[in-house]
Amino acid sequence: MASGPRYWFRAKRYGWGWSLALTWEGWLVLAGFIALVIASAVLFPPPRALASYLGCVAILCLVLLGICWLKGEPARWRWGEDEAS
């Protein structure tokens, strides 16, 4: 029996985007993102290098968004319960 794709991130119930991770791979990506944001704050302390810190966090957010786009449920606007297909 063939199953559908194995998503790392579930789509949000309301709105557009993704919610928390579904699989260990998704949790690993999320933990890595948090660790890298913390490391960015150490490497580029915001009081002294705010532009560098924000640039680094922006790049990390784009990478996370790309991973969610590739490995998450398809993104679309949602209003709660999915319609019956």
Q: Max CA-CA distance within the chain? A: 57
Q: What is the mean pLDDT of residues 21-37?
A: 96
pLDDT at 2 over 80: no
- Residue 49 identity: A
Q: Note the pLDDT of residue 23.
A: 94
| Residue matched to tokens 């996370």 | 64
pLDDT at 85 over 50: no
Q: What is the mean pLDDT of residues 8-30?
A: 92
